[in-house]
Amino acid sequence: MRTVVMHNDAGDVTGFEIGNLLIGRRGVLRVLKRIPAVTITKAPKAWAFDDDDFVHFTVNGHKFKAIEPFGDNDRYWIVAEDKAGRSEIEAIRQVFAERRLFGIF
């Protein structure tokens, strides 16, 4: 799956984005559950699409969110909630980057 690293104005990596054409909110949850260090603290509800931040999770004690920016977008963002969690982003991004959907990407 194609991923794009996101930076803040200072150039620090804050997260990454993925396209949601081939993966839905539940698919993001399934990929995250495959990471041994991930603990899901909020999962998407099947009937609710009004939550922009639809998955909350922790990795090694650091908090992260999966967000659909602006509520209706063609991208999902996976972002660290704090500076300390930014060190974990590359490992999470790598799991999504290696994920193959229907043999595409």
Residue 17 placed within a domain: yes
Q: Which two tokens stand for residue 53?
A: 């931040």
Share of the chain above pLDDT 90, in %: 58
- How much is the pLDDT for 24? 86
Domain that holds residue 22: 3-98
To the nearest 10°, report the CA torsion of 44, 50, 51, 52.
120
Q: What is the pLDDT of residues 10-48, one digit of tens each?
A: 999 999 999 888 888 889 999 999 999 999 999 887 666
Q: Is the pTM of this model over 0.75?
A: yes
Residue 16 placed within a domain: yes
Residue 105 placed within a domain: no
At residue 6, the 3 state secondary structure works out as strand
C-alpha triplet 62, 45, 70: angle, nearest 5°: 70
C-alpha to C-alpha distance for 65 and 62, rounded to whole angstroms: 10
- How much is the pLDDT for 99? 81
* Count of domains forming the chain: 1
